[in-house]
Structure 1
Amino acid sequence: MTEHNQEKSPLWHGTTILAVRTEDHVVLMSDGQVSMGQTVMKGNARKVRRLGSGDILAGFAGATADAFTLFERLEQKLERFPNQLQRAAVELAKDWRTEKYLQKLEALLIVADKDVTLVITGAGDVLEPEHHVVAVGSGGNYALSAARALYEYEKDAETLGRRAMEIASDICVYTNSNFSVEKLELKS
């Protein structure tokens, strides 16, 4: 890859975000590494958080300021459509695709509540994964593969997610093992 092409490559390839949904919990995890080119700028960034009243988990891959803008927009949509994550996500994706300001934002979001896990993209896509795990970022495919392989053997979402993220961090140079974890209990 030439230097020119590297500059044009999307920024969201420098992280790993993983969501795991089991019968009892949904867990959203991220690594903590922030890279600028080949330099590690920070090792303990928090890329997952709770939104709304704490019942929605959200994580991002991409430019931090862009992700925070999208988190704020998603929270506004959730205020307009309370307890309707899927509807709020679709409304955010429509805005992201049509508003010139938002079109320049470089990030991907994974969001989850008690009912659904979604990936929201800048292309206006709202994707619900076919399986109970989904991942994005540079180490996303490694974490996703590991989590899918472990899924039928490990019933605890956090244990499964941590193991999958450890595997990703061993393979991907843009993923470290300083994990942030957010967890929702699905059964009362």
Structure 2
Amino acid sequence: MFKATTIVAIKSGNKGAIAGDGQVTFGENTIMKNTAKKVRRIFNDRVLVGFAGSVADAMTLSEKFEEKLEQHSGNLQRAAVELAQDWRMDNIMRKLEALMIALNDEHILIISGSGEVIEPDDGIAAVGSGGMFALAAARALKENTELTPTEIVNKSLKIAASICVYTNDNIISHEL
């Protein structure tokens, strides 16, 4: 599990949203920054991505993923599988420490360096130290409210921030 961040995303119909907290933690007990941006739009604003893990590694993965999307005309699943294969096999990429969530208007995926590309059954994904708190909150909110995807990811992160010391409530979100 990667500490120092929480990313949560939800896909509902052709709508979706992703959110990340802003905390950067150095070691086990020092907060270095409160306003980091861990979610972003790529591929002409048609794909949303969020990262848990090393910032430099996340930026490298974001660039590589956008290259794969361009190579495969925006096919999210194909680009994700190829990224995961490269990430697992390439000697330099293998050392990158991050987890990624990517979503577009069709799919939501969790991508890891060990080769996994997972599409959650319920359209909700979360990674990072507060990921399971945010995931539980997002599931409850999706099943029991009429909130929009953006409202769900923002409220889920606020709940995670109230529980996880590596997550803060300075939330940045994007929606499709």
Q: What TM-score, normalized to structure 2?
A: 0.96
Name the CA distance, whole Å, in 2 between partners of 1:42 and 1:84: 35
Distance 1:164 1:39, change over 3 A: same
Number of residue pairs matched by the alignment: 174
State the secondary structure of the residue aligned to 2:22: coil
Matches within 5 A, 1:1-188: 12-23=2-13, 25-37=15-27, 38-152=29-143, 153-184=145-176
> For the pair shown, which has the larger CA radius of gyration, 1 or 2?
1
Q: Tell me how far apart the structure 1 counterparts of residues 155 and 67 of structure 2 sit (CA, whole Å).
A: 34
1:7 corresponding residue in structure 2: none
TM-score (norm 1): 0.90
1:19 counterpart letter in structure 2: A
Give the conservation status (yes or no) of the 8 Å contact 2:11–2:103.
no
Displacement of 1:24: 5.2
State the alpha-carbon separation in 1 of the partners of residues 148 and 127 from structure 2: 21
Identity of aligned residues (%): 47
Code of the residue aligned with 1:85 in structure 2: it is L
SS at match of 2:62: helix
SS in structure 2 of the partner of residue 129 of structure 1: coil
Q: Equivalents in 1 of 2:14, 2:107: separation in Å?
A: 13
Q: Where do 5+ consecutive residues of structure 1 fail to align?
A: 1-9
Q: Helix, strand or coil: the match of 1:171?
A: coil
- CA distance in 1 between counterparts of 2:61 and 2:154 reads 26
Change in Cα spacing, 1:76 to 1:142, as seen in structure 2 (3 Å) is same
| 8 A Cα contact 1:34 1:40, kept in partner | yes
Counterpart-to-counterpart distance in 2, 1:177 and 1:48: 14
Indicate if the aligned counterparts of 1:22 and 1:155 stay in contact, CA closer than 8 A: no
Q: Which runs of 5+ in 2 are unaligned?
A: none
Cα contact 2:110–2:118 (8 A) shared by 1: yes
Does the 8 Å contact 2:5/2:167 carry over to 1?
yes
Structure 1 distance, partners of 2:14, 2:83, is 28
